[in-house]
Structure 1
Amino acid sequence: MPSPFILSGCSGGGKSSVLDELKDRGFTVVPEAGRRVVADALQTNSNALPWIDPLAFCRACCDLHMQDLAKLPNQERRVFLDRSLIDLFAYLEMKRISVPADLGAALRAVSYAKTVFLTPPWQQIFVNDQERKASFKEAALEYEHLLSSYRSLGYQVTLLPKTSVADRTDMLLNELDQMDA
């Protein structure tokens, strides 16, 4: 099975909309672990929230992400991930928290496609909700850490343009098609 492709970037930058479009076009899409961990923590009064216990949050995200990867169907068609374990490392770096050994071991155990797509900060579409409490300024800082982390780990980063969801999705798929040709 080919390695899954990562779509990451600025919180509130339009990742979910592009991933929804990819899903509508028949691709397998794995939802972001972080939003599911936050939703569960809010419902169960867990401390695994990024604004309460960043390490507990990252460990819960890592566990859920690894479960998601283990459940991926064996298929030839491209698979897209909403974020990856690298996002957790960038988050911990941004918070100036050392990466625990167990999270480092998890990252070494996974294989992602070397081309990564990032959504840049985009003030006009940025919104907060119950699971996203960071300001636009914090989201933009998160993006800088993500960009740096992916590049430092040798990934080829492609930035999605600030345009319609359909155009962003077409651009992403066209780039992958060109790589396959």
Structure 2
Amino acid sequence: MNHRFVLTGGPGGGKTTLLDAIEKRGYRVVPESARSIIKERLAAELSPRPDPVSFAQDILKSDIEKYRRVAVGEQATFFDRGVLDALYMLDAESALSRAGIANYVQLFPYNPVVFLLPPWEDIYGTDSERDQTFEESLKVFEGMKSWYSQWGYKTLEVPRDTIDERVKFVLQHVNSL
């Protein structure tokens, strides 16, 4: 069984908070690439993001490095987004062929169950790394839901609930696999 689990969705759904809580329970967590890329660019006094294709390529490169660096045994490892998220961005810009995308999907598989966090207006906020509107977050969420399904993944929507209940939901599903 593949023990690499992806948590994805639109910005502001609580992925990072959920992953922090999962990590506190002793699980390995791999942080999102986009935030670190944006932080590095801001520190270098650049715009938060380069053009969409360059940004997606940078994220893809980082996600592949993280995927390869994490040796996964019997313990679940949770990824804040996955290689497929960057591929979605590249597809949206028509920057990669379907055959090229399919090749990446095959080379970098995750567990067939993907946890999808819906946008949550009550907790949504912007900051120096998250500048999308709530409406954009809704579009990304729907896009991720469809995108992962297109590539054979089953998406499970994590309910909007307390952090403890969200952790319980994810871990119960992981342990039942």
Superposed pair shares fold, TM > 0.5? yes
Partner of 2:44: 44
Partner of 1:33: 33
Q: Residues 141-156 of structure 1 correspond to what in structure 2 (within 5 A)? A: 141-156=139-154
The verdict on how the C-alpha distance between 1:108 and 1:2 changes in structure 2, with shifts beyond 3 A counting, is: closer
CA–CA separation in structure 1 for the residues paired with 2:115 and 2:29:
14
Partner of 2:159: 161
User: Contact 1:47–1:56 (CA<8 Å) still a contact in 2?
Assistant: no
CA–CA separation in structure 2 for the residues paired with 1:141 and 1:118:
13
Q: Report the Cα offset of residue 46 of structure 1.
A: 5.0
- Residues 111-143 of structure 1 show CA distances to partners (whole Å, capped at 9, x for unaligned) of 111000010111000010000000000111111
Partner of 2:79: 81
Partner of 2:63: 65
Partner of 1:13: 13
TM-score normalised by length of structure 1: 0.88
CA–CA separation in structure 1 for the residues paired with 2:100 and 2:20:
28
User: Contact 1:39–1:131 (CA<8 Å) still a contact in 2?
Assistant: yes
- Residues 4-53 of structure 1 show CA distances to partners (whole Å, capped at 9, x for unaligned) of 0000012000001110011000001000011111111222245671xx40
Large movers: runs of 4+ above 3 Å: 45-48, 105-108
User: Contact 2:60–2:87 (CA<8 Å) still a contact in 1?
Assistant: no
The verdict on how the C-alpha distance between 1:20 and 1:103 changes in structure 2, with shifts beyond 3 A counting, is: farther
Give the gaps of 5 or more residues in structure 2: none
User: Contact 1:91–1:145 (CA<8 Å) still a contact in 2?
Assistant: no
Q: Report the Cα offset of residue 92 of structure 1.
A: 4.0
The reply to whether residue 99 of structure 1 matches residue 98 of structure 2 is: no
The verdict on how the C-alpha distance between 1:45 and 1:60 changes in structure 2, with shifts beyond 3 A counting, is: farther
Q: Report the Cα offset of residue 90 of structure 1.
A: 2.7
Q: Report the Cα offset of residue 74 of structure 1.
A: 4.3
TM-score normalised by length of structure 2: 0.90
Match of 2:121 among 114, 123, 126: 123
CA–CA separation in structure 1 for the residues paired with 2:76 and 2:52:
31
The verdict on how the C-alpha distance between 1:160 and 1:22 changes in structure 2, with shifts beyond 3 A counting, is: same
User: Contact 2:57–2:90 (CA<8 Å) still a contact in 1?
Assistant: no
CA–CA separation in structure 1 for the residues paired with 2:72 and 2:86:
26
Q: Report the Cα offset of residue 109 of structure 1.
A: 1.6
